[in-house]
Amino acid sequence: MIFCINIVATTLNRDTMFLGGFLLFLFIFFMAFWILLFLSAFALPYAVTQWLLHKLNPSRSEEEAES
């Protein structure tokens, strides 16, 4: 009788741990996905645009540095 209860408890614990680990994996995976999507869609183009504007119009940034 005690052996049967132990098997049920072990199976329940194993299933619960698997579910918790799987949900944690999904959370980390989707957080990384959205961060990469944000970086590739907004942050990287913004940085490239700022760099190009600086290279094309260096006089404006020099005036800002002097004042």
Rounded Cα–Cα distance for residues 49 and 55 (Å)? 10
Report yes or no on 66 lying in a domain.
Answer: no
d(CA 19, CA 14): 9
Q: How many domains does the chain fold into?
A: 1
- Say if 28 falls within a structural domain: yes
pLDDT in tens, 3-59: 555 555 566 678 888 898 899 999 999 999 999 999 999 999 999 999 999 999 877
| Per-residue pLDDT at 17 | 84
The SS3 call for residue 57 is coil
Do the domain assignments include residue 7? yes
pLDDT at residue 6, as a whole number: 58
Residues 6+ apart with CB under 8 A from 54: 61
Domain extent at residue 44: 2-61
Give domain status of residue 67, yes or no: no
Q: Is residue 42 included in any domain, yes or no?
A: yes
pLDDT at 60: 64
pLDDT value at residue 9: 58
